[in-house]
Structure 1
Amino acid sequence: MTPSRSNGAMTLDTTKDDFLVRVSNARSDERRSVSAVMARVRDGYFGNTPDKQLNAAMDDMFDDIIETLGAQAAPSKETSHIGRMAEGFPLFGLGESGTRKSSTFARMIHTRPEFAGFSYVPHENSSALLSVKAPSPCTLRVLGVTIARAMGLPTSETLKENVVWDDIMDHLPARGIRVIHIDEFQHVLENRNRLDIAKIRNTMKRVLQTPGHPVWMLVTGMPEVGLALEGDTQTWRRKSYVFFPELDFSRHAGKCRTMVQFFAKERAGLDCEAFTTDQNIHRLMHASLYRLGIAIDVVIKAIRVALKAGSSELTTEHFAKAYKAFAGCPDAENPFLASGFIELKVDQHLTRLLESRKERTGGSKAASK
C-alpha cells in the first residue's frame, strides 16, 4: 500500500498499514502543509532536449517495428524482402550518473500509448514491453534470471546461464514481448574481459534476432555501455543513440534558470528572482556536478528547506542549508557560500574527509616512532 495523490494533495489509505497510520498521526499540521506543497513539486516534470530526442527516436523505432513485421508477414508473392533477416535494433540512452537517463526513459514508457498496459508486476503487464534494472553485481546469468522473473517465468539460483537464456528465447513469442528495456546496463559490463563482452554482445544480438519474433531493445546506462555492441558490425549498423550530456554554464545557464523557476514558482509558489542570478545558477551547476538530474534534486531539497522555514521566497541560504544536509560539508566548502566555489571539489566530501584523517593519523604515528 502506497500514498496516493489527488489534486496535488497527498492522501493515505490508512486502512491496511499500521506503520503509515503511526507516521501520519505523528505529523504536525506544519509538516502536513509542507508535504502538500512538496507533492506538487515532486509531481512536476521539467522537459529537456533529450526528452524530445527520445520521443523522435521512439517514433523511428515504432515505425521500424511496423515496417519489419509488415515485411515479415507479406504475402509469399512479395519476394523483395527475402534474404533480409527480420531483426530488431537497440536504442541506447547514455550519460553520466545524474543526467536523468532512467527517469526520462521511465516517463516515456508510462506516457507512450504504444506501451499502454505496462506494469513492472509480471502478471499485471499486458503490454509488449518488458523493463528491468540490471542489479549490481550482474553477470549474464543474473541478467537472464532478472528478465525471466520479469516475464513471470519460474527461476532458481541453480539455473545455468545457457538454460535461462534458452527459456527466455522460447517464451518471448508466447508472452508477446517486442521491446525489452534494461536499465543500469553498465552493471553487466563491470569487470568483464573481452571474451565476456563478446558473449554479452552475442546474447543481445540473439534476442534482437529471435527466430520468427524479432525484438527491439532499450538500453540505458553509463557511456561505456555503448561498447556492448560496438564490436559487432551487423548490429552496430542498426543501433541508435540518445545522449544525456552534462551541463555547460555558457550554453545551459538559461535552461537551468528556467528549471529553478519551474519548480520554485510554478510548483511551490515561491518567489525565486533573487536567487536566479548568473552567479547563483553557476553555483547550482557546480554543486550538481553539471548534471541536470542532480541539479533538480538540489532545487527540490532547497524548496523543502524554504517551506519548512515558512519563507515565501527561495534564497541562496536555503540552497546552502540543503546542500550541507546531504553533502556534509563545512561552510568553507559549500558552493553556495564559498567565494571561490568554482575551485571546490564538491562530490564525496565525507570520503575525502576520512581519507585526509587517515593520512594525518598515519603521519602522526610515523612521527612518534
Structure 2
Amino acid sequence: MTTHIPAAAKIVADLKARFFPTPTYRQLQLEFDLLLEQRRANLRQGRQQEVRGLLVVAPSGAGKTTLVARVLRQHPSGLRMLTEGEERADIVSMVVPSPATPKGVGLDMLEALGYPLRRDRSAHIIWQLVKTQFAQRQVLFLHLDEAQDFSRHNNHNDRHAVISTLKSLTQSPQWPVGLILSGTPELLDLVNMDAQLARRLKPVEHRPLKTSVDGGMITAALRQYAAAADITLDDALCKPRFVHRLVHAADYCFGILVEMICEAIGEVLLAGEDILSTKSFVTCFSRRSGCPEGLNPFVVEDFLALDVRRLLQPEPGPGNQGRPR
C-alpha cells in the first residue's frame, strides 16, 4: 500500500484544490459584482458615497473562506489584491488576529499595508492611518475573515469601538471602503449590536446542507471528483440513503463534505482500486475521526444519532454506557 502513497497524496491534494461552484457561491458573486460596479460608477462620476458591504456567515467547515477567496481572487476583471511592492490595491483581505482588539487589528493592518509603526499610538490614531493608507492605495473593499473573533475577546465597550471603527470605514467622506465580513454565526451578534452597521451589510448565508434540496448538487460533486481522479463511481453512492449519510457525516457543511469525497477517493487509490464505494467512505471517516465502526455514520443504522464532530469516541458497551450524542 505504501507504494501508492505519493501518487495518491498528489491526486488528493489536487482534488482539494479544485473548486465546486454552489448556489451560495453564485449568490455571493452576484452581490459582490453589484457592489463593485456601483462603486466604480460612483468613482467615474467623482462621487464618494457611503459604501455598502457583505456579511458571509456559516459554521466552521462550511467553506466560507474558500468561497470569499474565490470570488475576490478569481474575479474576471482581475481585481488587484494587496501585494508587497505594489502601490494600488482594490482588495485588502486578512484574517482577524486573535485576540482581536481594535488596536491590535489596526496594527496588523498597517503592517500588511507596509506601514509599520515605530512607536506606540492610540487605537484612534492607528485607524486614522489605516484610512489614509486605504485612500492612498485606492482600496475599494476590506475583507476580514474570522471576524467573529472581534466579539470573543473584547468587553462590551471594545465591541462597540470595533463596530464604530468598521462603520466609519464605510462612511469616510474622503475615501469610503466597502466591508466584507466572514465568520461563524457568532458574528451576527456583533453586527446586530448596531442597526446602522447591519443596514450597510448584505447577508449571504452559507446554509446547512439538506438532502432533499441539495441531493442533485452532491451527486454531481461525487461524479465530478471521481471523474477527475479517473475512477468509477459506484451507483449506490447516488442513492438518497447514502447521500443522507454523507451529509450527516459532514455535519451538513459543504466544505467538509468535499474534503470527505476527496479523502475517500484517496482511500481508493491507496488500496490500488478504481471504484469509489461506501467502503471508501467507511475507511475515510474512521481515519478522520479515530472512531470505531459502531460510531461510523456510513455503517450504523441509526446514523443520525451520532455526533460526527467528536474525535476518538469509545463505542458504547460494558463499562461505557450511554448512547453517543
In structure 1, what is the equivalent of residue 205 of structure 2?
Answer: 243
Task: Report the secondary structure of 2:154's partner residue.
Answer: coil
In structure 1, what is the equivalent of residue 323 of structure 2?
Answer: none
Correspondences of 1:104-183 after superposition (within 5 Å): 104-119=67-82, 121-124=83-86, 126-155=88-117, 158-183=120-145
Q: Would the aligned equivalents of 1:132 and 1:146 in 2 still touch at CA under 8 Å?
A: no
Correspondences of 1:1-369 after superposition (within 5 Å): 30-71=4-45, 73=46, 86-119=49-82, 121-124=83-86, 126-155=88-117, 158-264=120-226, 266-272=227-233, 273-350=235-312
User: C-alpha distance in 1, partners of 2:223/2:148?
Assistant: 34
Q: Cα deviation per residue 1:14-73 (whole Å; 9 max; x = unaligned)? A: xxxxxxxxxxxxxx86334324533542332111001110111012101220243345x2
Q: Would the aligned equivalents of 1:115 and 1:127 in 2 still touch at CA under 8 Å?
A: no
TM-score by length of 1: 0.79
Q: Would the aligned equivalents of 2:99 and 2:153 in 1 still touch at CA under 8 Å?
A: no
Task: Report the secondary structure of 2:238's partner residue.
Answer: coil
User: C-alpha distance in 2, partners of 1:242/1:299?
Assistant: 25
Q: Would the aligned equivalents of 2:211 and 2:247 in 1 still touch at CA under 8 Å?
A: yes
User: C-alpha distance in 2, partners of 1:246/1:125?
Assistant: 40
Paired AA for residue 118 in structure 1: M
Q: Would the aligned equivalents of 1:118 and 1:125 in 2 still touch at CA under 8 Å?
A: no
Q: Provide structure 1 residue ranges, at least 5 long, that are not aligned to the other structure.
A: 1-27, 75-84, 361-369
User: C-alpha distance in 2, partners of 1:30/1:333?
Assistant: 28
User: C-alpha distance in 2, partners of 1:278/1:36?
Assistant: 31
Higher relative contact order (CA 8 A, sep 6+): 2
Name the larger-Rg structure: 1
1:326 CA drift (Å): 1.6
Q: Would the aligned equivalents of 2:94 and 2:144 in 1 still touch at CA under 8 Å?
A: yes
Q: Would the aligned equivalents of 1:94 and 1:221 in 2 still touch at CA under 8 Å?
A: yes
In structure 2, the CA distance between the partners of 1:159 and 1:263, relative to structure 1 (3 Å rule), is: farther
In structure 2, the CA distance between the partners of 1:36 and 1:223, relative to structure 1 (3 Å rule), is: closer
1:296 CA drift (Å): 0.6
Question: Which range moved further: 221-230 or 45-54?
Answer: 221-230
User: C-alpha distance in 2, partners of 1:123/1:233?
Assistant: 38
Paired AA for residue 311 in structure 2: H
Q: Would the aligned equivalents of 1:99 and 1:291 in 2 still touch at CA under 8 Å?
A: yes
Task: Report the secondary structure of 2:19's partner residue.
Answer: coil
Task: Report the secondary structure of 2:174's partner residue.
Answer: coil
Q: Would the aligned equivalents of 2:144 and 2:182 in 1 still touch at CA under 8 Å?
A: yes
Paired AA for residue 298 in structure 2: F
In structure 2, the CA distance between the partners of 1:221 and 1:346, relative to structure 1 (3 Å rule), is: same
1:112 CA drift (Å): 0.9
Q: Would the aligned equivalents of 2:263 and 2:284 in 1 still touch at CA under 8 Å?
A: yes
1:235 CA drift (Å): 3.6
Q: State the number of aligned residues.
A: 317
1:276 CA drift (Å): 2.5
Q: Cα deviation per residue 1:82-113 (whole Å; 9 max; x = unaligned)? A: xxx72112211111111111101111111114
TM-score by length of 2: 0.88
Paired AA for residue 163 in structure 2: R
Task: Report the secondary structure of 1:112's partner residue.
Answer: coil
1:210 CA drift (Å): 2.1
Give % identity: 25
Paired AA for residue 343 in structure 1: A
In structure 2, the CA distance between the partners of 1:344 and 1:227, relative to structure 1 (3 Å rule), is: closer
Q: Cα deviation per residue 1:280-314 (whole Å; 9 max; x = unaligned)? A: 11111111101111111111111111111111101
Q: Provide structure 2 residue ranges, at least 5 long, that are not aligned to the other structure.
A: 321-325
User: C-alpha distance in 2, partners of 1:290/1:53?
Assistant: 19
1:181 CA drift (Å): 0.6
